[in-house]
Amino acid sequence: MRRARELDARLRSLRMLGQAVVAMKSLSAHHFRATRAALEPARAYRSGLNRVLQSTGASLPAGRGAKGIVVIGGELGFCGAYNTQVAAAGAELRAAHGAGPTYCIGRRAASYLRRLGVPLDRQYTAPTSMRGITDTLLTVAQDIITDYIAQDLSSFEVVANRFEGVGVFHARSVGLLPVESRFLPTAPAVRYASRQHVESVGVRELLYITMVEVLLDALASEHGARLLATKGAERWLNDRIDRLQRHLMAVRRETSTQEVIEIAANARVRHPEP
């Protein structure tokens, strides 16, 4: 009886854990679909904005200083090598470029970068869904432009995981700055604001939307990895629950059989055959 109670308690615990895993899987699937759906509009907007800036001659030229990088990691667990992979790629790029400003979005990736000996100049909390993207990237974009100009940096790149299928991703780097273009005399005239103001705002917007595109891709990779991991955990738990249920049923049958035997034995003792 005691063994049956212990198995029943373990079975209840596994079922509760299974419910939590199913909830995690559903949430990851929701965020995965949302980020994938938002990615194409972001790409289209960035492409259109880039064409406009190219025609107006808007630019933020390269300086003579160091090269900056920003590494985009994640805050979620249960994502396999998501953070270790992007941190390793960021450390490799930092070593190739030499000393320079290094930013990191995401505490987990920041921890891995420090273990790899990469000092961080700025660190940000990574959004776990689309809701937190705007506030985070507006701050990051402003810091990048400010440091790029103040430190006369020659370039700024972002390192992030690129989605290549559910649970499949690889780290890549994308250039953010400099922005160089050539003015076209046939471009539409700028109205209601100076050309310098339009160019300044346009460069900032291009930097921001490029980072939005990269971060959406990274979030899709992160939630895809988590979705795959939760599916695997769900299968393992279901298998474990099935085996435990069969074991519990066997223990209960054994207990019932033993009780019947004891009852029969007691009956024979009390009422012996003549």
Could you read off the pLDDT of 28-37 as tens digits, one per residue?
A: 889 889 998 9
pTM: 0.80
61 or 270, greater pLDDT:
61
78 or 187, greater pLDDT:
78
Which of 20, 168, 157 has its CA nearest to residue 81? 168
SS3 172: strand
H or E stretch at 79: none
pLDDT digits (tens, 9 = 90+) for 149-208: 999 999 999 999 998 888 788 999 999 999 887 655 555 655 656 667 767 788 899 999
Task: Report CA dihedral (181, 182, 188, 190) to the nearest 10 degrees.
Answer: 70
Q: What is the largest CA-CA distance in the chain?
A: 122
Strand order in the sheet with 102-105: 122-124, 102-105, 67-72, 155-163, 169-177
Both tokens of residue 142? 């402003």
272 vs 267: CA distance, rounded Å: 8
The answer to which of 77-81, 114-118, 183-187 has the lowest mean pLDDT is 183-187
Residues in the chain: 274
Q: Average pLDDT of 31-57?
A: 87
Residue 54 has pLDDT above 80, yes or no: no
Instruction: Report which listed range, 57-71, 111-125, 166-180, 233-247, is most confident.
Output: 111-125
Which of 267, 262, 264 has its CA nearest to residue 1? 262
31 or 70, greater pLDDT:
70
